[in-house]
Structure 1
Amino acid sequence: MNNFETLIRKNLRTVIGVLSGTSVDAVDIVLVKIKGKGKSSEIKVLDFRSYPINIKLKKHILRLSTDNKIKAEDICRLNFVIGNLFAESVNKFISDKNLSAKDIDLIGSHGQTVCHFPANKKLFGYDSRSTLQLGDPSVIANRTGINVVGDFRTADVASGGDGAPLVPYLDYILFASDKKSRAFVNIGGISNVTYLCKSCDQNEVIAFDTGPGNMLIDSLMMKLFKKKYDKNGKTSSAGKVNAGLFKFLKDYDKFYRKKFPKSTGREYYGEKYISDILKNVENAKPADIISTVTKFTAFTIYHNIKRFNPGELLISGGGAKNISLMNFLKEYSGKTEVNPINEKGITTDNKEAVLFALLANEFLNGNRANITSATGSFKNVFLGKFCPA
């Protein structure tokens, strides 16, 4: 307990942020120094690395979202497997940096989302809105010897929120301005937008999921080309947009038209969605399908941000590397500048990992870090659970 009290009193902490995204391609790890708390937080990014996930394990994880025959034992064991995977990756990262566990104050671990059902449904008379991220933080703490804060979404869901998006808190802390309004789009598996009006406070931030990010593109690349993703958007660039399929997508997709706050995931943009696309391709060539879905992804982002008319649009996440997607987004955005983010050490690759390092630090500082205007929660809550080493 004395070590915990010392950790709480620290104003400068060395923190690791770790996650694997909805694509389940790699464990992303960032090392940061964080001084202060809340709006006074100063974050210095020291290093970022990605550790690929074994393809067989990836497929097994993805099965949890689609296979109704999965047993409770599978989920229970995978919770520890992912915890061990994260811990192994952190230990390798520390070793690669010639550091030891004693050099790290804290780990912020998001875990691996396998289920996300924020819409309420009564079961046996009780509310059942829920979210599930595997990779138990106690396992990570035990295997690394480092204190861990994890399970960041459940408190927001328990208080009536969607548990997402969480990225807007980082945007607010680092980029809120008294001089201008700004919009940030994170294009991971799912795309989400953060709009910071001039001089906004925490609960005036507007943020929500806009629809697909890389998820549809990645799934179709695997189905059609046996590739994990469309590297640099080359396949999309080689194809042509199919007007019939594009119209089908605009009519078929209900999520992008919903009012915010809202969130989504693989439960909507999963196998059924992909199957329905492939049933309506109208003899389009495989590259044309990728090009059409890429343009549709850009369209759903634009559709959701055009009302804000931002002067600048800063893009993060893997989608920022897809040249075709970025070009479609620029085409839709007109005079609005569209650029990959590269400010204050935050890049398209490390942003989400930095977020979970920040959220872990804010938990220790006693700060409530959800954005109620973004998640729909009826109150600000503490995000995370502390698991001592």
Structure 2
Amino acid sequence: MVPPLEPADSATATLANQRSILLRNRSSGLKHAAPWCDRNAGDEPLRLLKACPRYAPTDLISLPRAAERLGLGELWIKDETQRLGIGSFKGLGGAYAVLKLAMQHVERRTGRAILPAELMEPGVRAMLSELTFSCASDGNHGRSVSAGARLIGARAVVYLHQGVSDERAAHISRLGAQFERVSGDYHDSVEAAAKAASQAGWIAVPDTVGPGEDATACTLVVQGYSILTDEIVAATTGQQKPFTHVLVQAGVGGLAASVFGHGWARGLFGPDTHLWVVEPERSACLYESARAKMPVRLPTGPATNMSMLECQSPSLLAWPIIEDLTTGYITVSDEEAADAVRLLNEGMSGDPRVCVGESGAAGLAGLLRAAKEKDRKTLGLDQCAKVLLFATEGPTDVSVWSGNK
């Protein structure tokens, strides 16, 4: 059982604005079972999300010139900036959870199993119009839940903390959802969303789980991300050399847990692969949890430009998988994230351009940070390295986007 969150001590709070690489030895294997760690975990999400008109696999892009510049063998980036018209990997999780929960609702009402296509039939949509789905979000998860609800004719209410910009709120409104403002930080909005859903009888679709909370819907969210890993497996079929390094940026840790856990099940990487989590140095809850050897909750600190990663505590659903499989934690500064945005947006050394937001560029920022280490051999960053990164999202706050500077 995962222990409850503990407040970070005062020494932890002083680590803000310090750049860090924390290396860990991986355990003997995956000790904790999770539905998305099953080899076939992505099949059901794919079956449902194919009902979305804009579903298509996203690109896995080779960056050979950047690899040469960094002294690496190969460098690849999974481009999620076009995902489902939402522009983020989050489009997979929230939308899938909404569709799956909607199907379960209809099946309980009718007493029979239904097919995904039936969600679009008038009689079924009349049933679904009675439902309200709710969540908290920094922006992209809310868009995914809203898009899923809109597709089936249901209602969505998204809780946004005070740090979420009006621009991100507008993206949600355009999908027909209602949003509610909450004082405080992301986790205050999570608590407000859960309370409102409980009182109003709504269906909560969180992307994080706290102590004692029902993990059913959040498990579906993380399972939806399995599609992303399956697409990488399909795109790399026939390649002889496996990935030696996989860097995943993290907020509460859902994507990292999915990529590491499902990637392990699909054989995307082996026991020697470096699996690294990258976080903003101002909001490094997974780094601090690894250091404390238990999940901790950080105090609210200064805002970071990697706003989609600005979370104060790990998801207790994701943490056991991350703890089992992660071999390194890297924190990066706002300046490093902004530099990575510009490098990808301009096309590193003539490589294809990738238009990302600061959160989406954090993985590259982490790689650049690690590449500056004097003893790179310890990290395995040499000409034999084959590195996988994720462009997790496009620009969300264009007015303050580093690509404009």
TM (normalized to structure 1)?
Answer: 0.28
| Structure with the bigger percentage of strand | 1
Q: What is the TM-score when the length of structure 2 is the normalising length?
A: 0.27
Bigger RCO of structures 1 and 2 (CA < 8 A, at least 6 apart) = 2
